[in-house]
């Protein structure tokens, strides 16, 4: 019973939260093997060479690039 309540609560919360799909490429070509994709709940810092965000799994991720980062953000 408690598990169903938690699922229902998370579903209701998800209706009001905006999620983003972040694709980070470490070179200028998207679709390579070096690309990483994340489902982002909240962005903390978005700069040219630094990203800090919280994923949907509640993990805080920091990505740095010395020459800058190539990334795409799509709203889900």
Q: Is 5 a member of any domain?
A: no
Residues of the chain with pLDDT under 70: 28-31, 33
Q: Is 44 a member of any domain?
A: yes
Q: Is 68 a member of any domain?
A: yes
State pTM to two decimals.
0.71
CB 49 within 8 A of CB 69: yes
Quick one: pLDDT at residue 43? 93
Q: How many domains does the chain have?
A: 1
Quick one: pLDDT at residue 29? 66
Q: Is 54 a member of any domain?
A: yes
> Which domain, by its residues, includes 34?
17-75
Q: Is 42 a member of any domain?
A: yes
Q: Is 11 a member of any domain?
A: no
């Amino acid at each position: 019973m408690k598990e169903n309540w938690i699922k229902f609560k998370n579903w209701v919360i998800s209706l009001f939260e905006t999620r983003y799909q972040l694709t980070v490429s470490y070179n200028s070509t998207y679709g390579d093997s070096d690309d990483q994709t994340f489902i982002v709940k909240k962005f903390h810092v978005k700069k040219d060479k630094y990203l800090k965000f919280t994923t949907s799994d509640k993990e805080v991720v920091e990505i740095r690039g010395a020459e800058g980062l190539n990334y795409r953000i799509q709203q889900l």
